[in-house]
Structure 1
Amino acid sequence: MRFLKPFSFSIFFLAAFFFASTHEADVIVQNNCPYTVWAAAAGSNGGGKQLEPGEPWFITVPPGSTGSRIWARTNCIFDEAGRGKCETGDCDGLLECKGFEFSPVSSGCNSATRTRSIKCTADINGQCPNELKAPGGCNHPCTVFNTSEYCCNSGTCGPTNYSRFFKDRCPNAYSYPQDDATSTFTCPGGTNYMVVFCPRTTTLITNNMKVTYNLGHPNSKHFQPWFITVPPGSTGSRIWARTNCIFDEAGRGKCETGDCDGLLECKGYGSPPNTLIEYAFNQFNNMDFFDISLVDGFNVPVEFNAVSSGCNNGTRTRSIKCTADINQQCPVELRAPGGCNNACTVFQTDEYCCISGPSNCNSTNYSRFFKNRCPDAYSYSYDDQNSIFTYPGGTNYMVVFCPRTSTSTNLKTTYYLVCT
């Protein structure tokens, strides 16, 4: 995956949320900028937090929330009491905002009806018209001129050269108060969201089990994500979960499933059984290729999503997942502590391992056991090629262990997350 060109300018994003569901929603606010950002939220649950580069902020939004906003503030100074000032996005001099921000910030929203992200990533500050420029940002003409033409005070208004400046660069965003309604996006109630300042090509890995897991540091908790950046052209790469691990202070130990030579930070592949996400990036026609594989068996449910563009496998546009209760239903002869082995691991024969190549390799009762429960996944080495999925190169991804749709009931354990 590629990095976008490092930002020498500030891009700030106002996310407007309306939650009509009876279920609360989790929002991850992530700072990918190479500098400190003071994130802000206002509405049904306001607040604010200083975010260093790479640091996330987790917000739980009550059901029925309306008129809520999330934005970034820059060049802030606060005292110990949380009083101070920000160059952009300041909210009455408070670290934890109670009301909406002062301009300049970019208008927009971040609740998608389509299976892709929405974004505003253009170099607006660098290209801002002189009359709209402000320290650290680019004002809307309403802020500068305060006339009905730009502020729509009379109730009716149309696009202007200034609104088109913003719209041409950020077509997903609202550019004036009565802009095209297609800039409003919707999701089913109870959906979880992620807001990223200064987005880049990233893979987010998160564990949804309500237990502690480990990412290479000792205090990672439920729903805390792990962000990894994968170089362009990477091939033969895997992500998997390890379970029931014990490591010493030097990072040496052992895991019941997915163990990789007794190391906390893996240098090679894990031992079966383990559910795999496999990928190769920027390959033919600059496409990313990926799959879920059960060729090494199954240990935890997984889901794989793109968070910055659409997925393409023929005509499908969706996430892929393997969330069946495979461990509980595993045939007796394939069962292993903490998981369910593939038949190749157990019997080591050509019938199951396809040692002699694809001409003598077909599905078996064991491969069909996996395929029937996880149709997106590879169940043996030469399974249906429809289990390979593609995205455009440079897409960002999210891997979720134990997604909330999972039916597995035997996974009250500690997870150790791996990417090699």
Structure 2
Amino acid sequence: MASPPATNCSAVLLVVLVAAGTANAAIFTITNQCPYTVWPAATPVGGGVQLNPGDTWTIDVPAGTSSGRVWGRTGCSFNGAGTGGCATGDCAGALSCSLSGQKPLTLAEFTLAGSAGGSQQLDFYDVSVIDGFNVGLSFSCSSGETLTCRDSCCPDNTKLRHCNANSNYQVLFCP
């Protein structure tokens, strides 16, 4: 009688770890449609960059990142070491932000793989001007509604939306 095939435990473990490592991951594509330079920042991942008009920045948010923020900074000047400051949305004079920016700043906020009750996992997102308004933005996920804020009287300011877990996101400055 033939023996059952041997199971390669290492291969099974690798498949489980790869599947777990991709859970809750998301890609954020941030585009500057403003006629001026915007210096977007993102916490807890991403840091910050300079986006000239028409430029795009992509952030891979790793699995295990539960929540965060993306915002635009304006009127920035940084030296070669990444220190300087911004007129709006500044984060302690750093190009690569590790903490949230200073008022005023328009925020795109997210929570990845939050619970919707039961076993269903959803992502949640919103646009906030609670810390002031500095640049218009729209924020959407691949399976949800686009939230847009063009001025400080932002009608989408208090709307919390959801989409399927593991969605990808689009942030547009000056929509």
Amino acid at match of 1:301: G
1:201–1:247: structure 2 CA closer, same or farther, 3 Å change rule?
same
Aligned mates of 1:298, 1:212 — CA distance in 2: 17
1:370-405 deviation line (CA, Å, top 9, x unaligned): xxx322113xxxxxxxx21101101111000101xx
TM-aligned CA deviation for residue 296 of structure 1: 0.6
Residues 1:238 and 2:65 aligned together:
no
Give the match for residue 134 of structure 2: 299
CA-CA distance at 1:271 after TM superposition: 0.5
Deviation of residue 214 (structure 1)? 4.5
CA distance in 2 between partners of 1:295 and 1:212 (Å):
23
Which letter does structure 1 place at the counterpart of 2:35? K
Q: After superposition, where does 1:91-130 map in structure 2 within 5 Å?
A: none
The 1:292/1:283 distance shift into structure 2, 3 A limit, reads same
Question: Are the counterparts in 2 of residues 212 and 222 from structure 1 also a CA contact under 8 Å?
Answer: yes
Structure 1 unmatched runs, 5+:
6-199, 312-317, 327-372, 379-386, 404-420
The answer on 1:376 being equivalent to 2:156 is yes
Distance 1:279 1:224, change over 3 A: same
CA contact (8 A) 1:241 1:275 kept: yes
- Structure 2's unaligned 5+ residue stretches are 1-17, 20-24, 41-47
Tell me, in whole angstroms, the C-alpha distance in 1 between the residues paired with 2:38 and 2:67.
25
Normalised to the residue count of structure 1, the TM-score between the two structures is 0.32
Q: 1:224 to 1:396 in 2, by over 3 A?
A: same
Q: 1:289 to 1:233 in 2, by over 3 A?
A: farther
Could you tell me which of 15, 25, 29 is aligned with 1:204? 29
Distance 1:225 1:279, change over 3 A: same
Measured in 2, the distance between the counterparts of 1:213 and 1:374 equals: 20
- Describe how 1:344-363 pairs up with structure 2 within 5 A: none
Give the 3 Å change call, closer, same or farther, for CA 264–202 of structure 1 in structure 2: same
Query: For residue 6 of structure 2, what is the aligned residue in structure 1?
Result: none
- Match of 1:295, SS? coil
Count of residue pairs brought into register by the alignment: 142
Q: Does residue 271 of the first structure (1) align with residue 102 of the second (2)?
A: yes
Q: Secondary structure at the match of 2:74?
A: strand
Identify if the C-alpha distance between structure 1 residues 217 and 235 changes in structure 2 by more than 3 Å, giving closer, same or farther.
closer
Is the alpha carbon distance of 1:375 and 1:392 closer, same or farther for their aligned partners in structure 2, counting shifts above 3 Å?
Answer: same
What is the CA distance between 1:229 and its match in structure 2?
A: 1.0
Whole-Å separation in 1 of the counterparts to 2:80 and 2:99:
20
CA contact (8 A) 1:304 1:321 kept: yes
Give the structure, 1 or 2, with the largest relative contact order (CA under 8 Å, sep 6 or more): 2
Counterpart Cα distance in 1 of 2:103 and 2:52:
25
> Contact 1:235/1:280 (CA < 8 Å) preserved in 2?
yes
Q: Distance in 2 between matches of 1:268 and 1:217?
A: 15
Higher helix share: 1
Larger proportion of strand: 2
Secondary structure at the residue paired with 1:259?
Answer: coil
Distance 2:154 2:52 in 1: 28
Aligned to 1:228: 59
The 1:228/1:289 distance shift into structure 2, 3 A limit, reads same
Give, in whole Å, the separation in 1 of the partners of 2:69 and 2:36: 23
Spell out, residue by residue over 1:223-274, the C-alpha distance to the aligned partner (whole angstroms, 9 max, x if none): 1111001123423411000110111111111111111011000010110110
Identity of aligned residues (%): 37
Secondary structure at the aligned position of 2:113 is classed as coil
CA distance in structure 1 between the partners assigned to 2:123 and 2:133 by the alignment: 24
Aligned to 1:389: 161
Q: Report the alpha carbon displacement of residue 288 of structure 1 after superposing the two structures with TM.
A: 0.4
Amino acid in the other structure paired with 1:302? L
Q: CA RMSD in A?
A: 2.1
Corresponding letter in the other structure for 2:63: P
